[in-house]
Structures are given as C-alpha cells and as structure tokens.
Amino acid sequence: MMKKKLKKILVTGGLGFIGSNLVDSLVEHGHKVVVVDRNKPSVFKLLNPKAKHYQMDFGSPEIKKILQKEKPEVIFHMAAQISVPKSVADPVGDAENNIIKSLGLLEVARKNGVKRFVFASSGGAIYGDYPSFPTPELRSVKPLSPYGIGKQTFEYYLFQATQEHGFSTMILRMANVYGPRQGLKGNSGVVGVFCEKIVLDEPLEIFNQGKETRDFLFVGDAVAAFHKAIDSSEQGFVNISSGREINIKKLFTTLAKISGKKVDFKLSPPRSKGEILRSVLDNRLAKKKLNWQPKTSLEDGLKKTYAWFEKNKLELSKKNR
C-alpha cells in the first residue's frame, strides 16, 4: 500500500455536522488538524481532542495571523450559512457570509502559503430544478435560492483564482449529506429532523406529500471524498453523491422501520415556493477524477444515523429547553 503523506489541514466549520466528522477522520489518519469555528464545543463533544480549535469566525481579520502561525498546507472550507429558507428571507446576510467572507478567506489563503483549497459546495442547491437526471457537473446554472447562488458564486471565484493565479482549488458539490450529528443547531436536513422526532416520540410533518426526491449521501462517504481531494492534483468541480434518487416518503418508511416504532406523522402541502422537486446527481466524474465512489447503502447509513440519535436521546431532549 502506498504511504500517504501527512499534512497540516485547516478546517473551517470543523465543529459542524460534516466538518466534525471530517476532522475526526483526518485525525484518525494522522493528519494535523486546525479547526476554525466560531462555536464553542457543545455537549455533543464534536471537537476532536487532537485538533487545535480557534474559536472565531473564519471571516475575522485574525485569520491571517492564524495561517501565518499554523502554516496549513490545505484548507477545507466547510463553514457556511446553511439554511435555504434563511437565505430567501435574508439574501444579503447569506451573501455576506457565504460569498464575501469566503472570498476574503480565499485571498488570505492564496497569499499566505496555502497549497490547496477545497470547498464544500452544494450540488442540489446549485442545480435547482435543472431538468436532467442524474444531473451532471454543469458549469453555470441559475440556482433557485440565494443559498445556491452564493455557493455557485464562490465556485466562480475559486475558478478565477486557479486561472489567474494558478492557485490549486477543488470544489466538491455535495448531494444531501446525512449522518450522525446532523442538524444539532436546528437548521437540519430532513434525515436529521426525522431521526430527532422519531427518537423523541414527536409527531412529524412530511411536506409536499413526500413526493420530493433527494440524493442522500452518508457522511462517511462524503468525508472519504475530502480525503481523496487532499493529494489529487485535479482542479474544478465534481459531484459527490450517491447517485440514487429517493423520495421523502420512502425515506420516512425506511427510517420508521429501522426505529421499530409506530411514528405519528402528517402529510402537508409544499413548504415554500422555490423548493426543489427532484434532485439526484451523477457521480461518475468523481470516480474518474478522484477515484471516489460511495460505499454505504441507504439502509446501513440510516441505521448508523438513527443509532447516534438514539444514543444521544437525553442531550437531544434537553437541547431546545
């Protein structure tokens, strides 16, 4: 087996859902990890003890000093405003965080010795209702939400930095990532919401009769893609997805079965205008460029996810009180 080079990696949003799973895995593989996250470590113990945590916003001017001190070779930029409805209500706030601050980080990284910048983008939100399924890596589309626009915009800046300055960048357009630790701050994807409600025996609501489809990718598979992106010399974007299209009703019945509970639910009309009806991403390019493929079946992924929510039932029940 080829020995992997160990690197120093800075992860923004390293206390978040995907970020914390990523940090654990990086540490496990022997990389040195610096986390920049404005949050304090919570009761869910998401901060890996071997990672160094700077509790600050990645958009703070202090970030320059941290880069000069820590000298990371790679940045994984995970921190973001992640709520689509919030972006619709406050597009300026979303753009300030996801575009302006990200662009500031990119500039500082480029000028302070960072060798590679990997960005967690969003396939579903960027492609919107683009009428081709599974959706391939489209260069430029018209996303339906300000959140999707913001993600695509930062992609443009990454491309520009690569073309203009030769800065090495990679964009992972993620499908709907789910797994342990999802949605602890309230703005969660549907798997997190369902797991929490089922575990706490609360009634749940299925919007648009459960007809909407999504491409659910287990967080462990998503994390593996970031590993592949470290040493790859590829530039540009790839979809990171399961390539499977599942409707919400099916997701619900699978989860309900795993829980072994009789779940109280109601079917509701669509949540809002601009909600994406179908989403499934073609992942063949990721195989070609990164030698990455998803490995976890939906059933296995949901079991692991549900088990985590079950284990943290007590903390979850206190969270909102």
Partner 1 sequence: MKNKYTKILVTGGAGFIGSHVVDLLIKRGYKVVVVDSMKKKKGWLNAKVRYYRTDINDPGLAAIFKKEKPDAVFHLAAHIEDRVSVREPVMNAKENILGSLRVFEACRNFKVKKIVFASSGIVYGEQKKFPLNEKVTPWPLTPYAISKLVGEHYLNFYSKIIGVPGVALRLANVYGPRQDSRGDSGVVAIFSEKMFKKQAVAVNNDGKTTRDYVYVGDVARAFLLALESKYEGEVNISTGREISTLEIFKTLKTLTKSDCKLIFNPKHQDRIKRVCLNPRLASKTIGWKPKISTSAGFKATVAWFKSRV
Tokens of 84: 């689509």
Q: Which residue, 144 or 217, is less far from partner 1 as judged by CB?
A: 144
In the complex, least distance from residue 272 CB atom to partner 1, rounded to whole angstroms: 9
Owner of token pair 């071997």: 50
CB 178 within 8 A of CB 215: no
In the complex, least distance from residue 268 CB atom to partner 1, rounded to whole angstroms: 20
CB proximity list for 70: less than 8 A, separation 6 or greater: 8, 10, 34, 52
Binding site for partner 1 (CB under 8 A): 88, 91-92, 95-96, 99-100, 103-104, 107, 138-140, 142-146, 149, 152-153, 156-157, 160, 163-164, 273-274
In the complex, least distance from residue 311 CB atom to partner 1, rounded to whole angstroms: 40
Q: Which residue, 55 or 163, is less far from partner 1 as judged by CB?
A: 163
**Rg (the chain; Cα; Å):** 19
Q: Which residue, 132 or 140, is less far from partner 1 as judged by CB?
A: 140
Q: Which residue, 158 or 240, is less far from partner 1 as judged by CB?
A: 158
Residue 106 and residue 166: Cα distance in Å, rounded? 13
In the complex, least distance from residue 62 CB atom to partner 1, rounded to whole angstroms: 16
CB 280 within 8 A of CB 245: yes
Residue 256 and residue 214: Cα distance in Å, rounded? 18
Query: Which residue out of 54, 127, 130, 147 is catalytically annotated?
Result: 147
CA dihedral angle for residue 153, residue 159, residue 160, residue 162, rounded to 10 degrees: 150
| Catalytic residue status for 178 | no
Catalytic residues, which ones?
147
